[in-house]
Structure 1
């Protein structure tokens, strides 16, 4: 395994920790700045929206630049953002730090996915992307509980100082271990990268990402309420149950990467269908603590098991201009997070109970499954059309075109 993948995974760990650890520290942060928990919640929403902006804006702005220096620059931005958060004297400055750190998120994972795939043989690309995203899953399993504990014991600012140190470590690792990669063919340009969005398959893949992740996070955003108010767990048990969810992310990420190297579309269809079933069972069996624990693990596994396949699918159909499309897909993940959180909140506000976000998540994931079926059918139709054109006398093979 190329050592550069480990450096990318460390960067992913730090970025994942920045995104998710704030959830465990909201009471401390809200108290320190004298704001309501709802106002503190904007540190999460603001981060997610900034990820979408950075995924498109920074990726587009750095298209012509060599990828390794761009990754290093993004980590400098990441360290700066978390340092601002650690030093923030006010709510506004803290929000600024969150936004600055978030801007690098989408571009890092988007460009990092392209770099990770280029470090291995073509048949191992999805697995390489999965290794990079292992850092993100490890952030949920180990980083978030530890970061929350650190913040509770030594103050929430200590957690952001620790995250800044992880960013420095990742920066050094990428500088030392990731080779200077050259792109094949024409020099990269924004115009060339934008041609990726002419592909209907790229748009279908982005839609599946928004809906698939939106479904999982529609259920996950309000999971603490489901666990305590419906399943009957004590509040002290929630962090450990989230570790169980995080363990599912790790297992699903690795399994999804290996299976996607064999069949991207088949893996995505299987995982999305399984996730619909798991979410429906979760909503139905939530009063049972044992069933809840098992299904929480499975929700993480099948939900995050789609990530390597979704990222690989976008890059496959944007083969000659993958960087911006890859970054857009990271933005789509976060757009899905926002969609799911909003839809789940609407269901709770309507008085439908604390299992309603899980039902909503199952419905959104079901929509993702339908779109994925359409995408696979369109891809097969395009292949048959190309095969027929290639076989016809006097014609030459053409690239796959899927609208």
Structure 2
């Protein structure tokens, strides 16, 4: 059938189905497309850490100055997540996801051609802007399409792309960047982003079950104490993981004596742990949300303590680093679902703020780790700073849990 205003040889555009009209197979395809976007974002977020020493040599800067590149991306997430989600609440979710991935593509293309340290910092900030909003909209879209009892697993499916990136995307991009120069790593990410845009264009339905929200509704999340508690837990509790990951190339090569050509294996081990941890975190969220958060924080403190002692040995350090990926990643799905529960009608902003919090942890962890190393301590020392951060997060969890339980008891009474 053709449109009477178009030439007869141009077929009429096939309308996109509504989310209520698609079957399980189409829903899985849509979630895979959104997860590929998460894969691209995860690759660009973490590959910079593995290439920091190469970038530092290219621009003739110190380790601490190189860490600013990580902080610039994280700052983009922190700035973009709340602003984008608050002012795009009325935009159809399908269109918003396409625009967000388009902006992400642009930021990485600029990174490829960055000729100066300052330009690279700006391009990483731009690439980080859509990060939080993309994860928020994608996670909520997946949860909206899934049965109520499987929300945690649906959210984990989207963040699985981030975890898989640490297994495949990051090592591949790091190897490519080491062989052909660090810009090649960002070029690979740009290709992933372009494929995601194409897949979303053809597969993403109209998300009619997701109600549009106005800026005032979204901002209302900021007035809920449980939202702030959850964000604080994520920001502080995850900081230690980024403190060790940011400087892992120096920790394993200079501290443990690992051959630099084998660094990809270290990153892949972390990635395997992240994939398993993401799966485990999704099930924790569905089974026992509050105690799942506490379990993750306790294990982060324990594994970082162990890493401090094993990071001077290449094999033991690599294995322990994999467990760091497991327990660090299993925290994310539980916090994401907790924010969706406590934010009520302002779920989009709350979900985006979860990734803003994690990237604040990224920036803070990189800064804390850099400060510890700059103070003359070993490359293993940032792990102990991470232990302290995990313990502080546990202290924050206690009143958050007690107040929420009290509110639930009052509601029942």
**TM-score (ref. length: structure 1):** 0.90
Partner of 1:295: 320
Residues 109-118 or 145-154, more deviating: 145-154
Shift of 1:308: 0.6
Aligned equivalent of 2:412, options 374, 383, 387 = 387
Measured in 1, the distance between the counterparts of 2:372 and 2:60 equals 29
Change (3 A) 1:194 1:145: same
Change (3 A) 1:234 1:154: closer
Residues 278-287 or 139-148, more deviating: 278-287
Shift of 1:339: 1.5
Residues 192-203 of structure 1: pairs in structure 2 closer than 5 A: 192-203=217-228
- CA deviation profile, 1:200-220 (whole Å, cap 9, x unmatched): 111110011101111221232
Q: RMSD of aligned C-alpha atoms?
A: 2.1
1:6 aligns with 2:51: no
Contact 1:279 1:362 in 2 (8 A): yes
Measured in 1, the distance between the counterparts of 2:312 and 2:170 equals 26
Change (3 A) 1:273 1:115: same
Aligned equivalent of 1:328, options 343, 353, 369 = 353
Change (3 A) 1:63 1:274: same
Aligned equivalent of 1:226, options 243, 248, 251 = 251
Any gaps of 5 or more consecutive residues in structure 2? 1-23
Aligned equivalent of 2:127, options 77, 84, 101 = 101
How many aligned positions are there?
Answer: 387
Deviating runs (4+, > 6 A) in structure 1? none
Measured in 2, the distance between the counterparts of 1:130 and 1:336 equals 20
- CA deviation profile, 1:29-82 (whole Å, cap 9, x unmatched): 455556556544432221111111011111122122111101100111111112
Change (3 A) 1:95 1:281: closer
Change (3 A) 1:344 1:31: closer
Aligned equivalent of 1:366, options 388, 391, 404 = 391
1:260 aligns with 2:285: yes
1:245 aligns with 2:247: no
Measured in 2, the distance between the counterparts of 1:106 and 1:20 equals 15
Partner of 1:182: 208
1:115 aligns with 2:141: yes
Contact 2:67 2:367 in 1 (8 A): no
Partner of 2:299: 274
**TM-score (ref. length: structure 2):** 0.87
Measured in 1, the distance between the counterparts of 2:63 and 2:244 equals 20
Change (3 A) 1:290 1:81: closer
Change (3 A) 1:40 1:272: closer
Partner of 2:102: 76
Measured in 2, the distance between the counterparts of 1:237 and 1:28 equals 15
